[in-house]
Amino acid sequence: MKKNLTLHTCVPLWLMASYLYYEYKDKNNAHYSLFDDTVFDSLAVFIYKNWKKITHPHKKLIRKDETKTAYYIKKYPSIVVAAAMQLKEELNGKLLELEIENDFR
C-alpha cells in the first residue's frame, strides 16, 4: 500500500509509526513496524526540512529535534491509536510505502 506524504499527512504517519513500534505489541510480544527504517528516516528528514510549513494540530506533540532520534511520547491521542490500528489491519502484515509529492522533494 502506498500513501502520499504531504505536509498534512507527515505528522499523523510519524505518530502512528511511533505508536506501533514503541507501544503496540502483538501476541508474540513483538513490535510492529509500519514501514522499513529507510522510509522512517525519509519521513524524519521530510518533517525536519518542512517544519515551519507543517500546521497539523498534533505537531505540538513533536519537537523538531526529535525527528533526528527515536521518538516516543507517554500518551498518544486516541485518534492516533485508532488510526494506527486501522492502518495496521489494512496493511495485513505488509510495509507501508510513502510517495513524496514533487513539491516537497
The grid coordinates of residue 4 equal 502520499
CA 42 to CA 48: how far, in whole Å?
10
Residue-level pLDDT, tens digit, the chain, 105 residues: 888 888 999 999 999 999 998 889 888 888 889 988 888 888 888 999 999 999 999 999 988 988 877 666 888 999 999 999 999 999 988 999 888 765 554
Q: Is the pTM of this model over 0.75?
A: yes
Residues 6+ apart with CB under 8 A from 58: 11, 12, 15, 77, 80
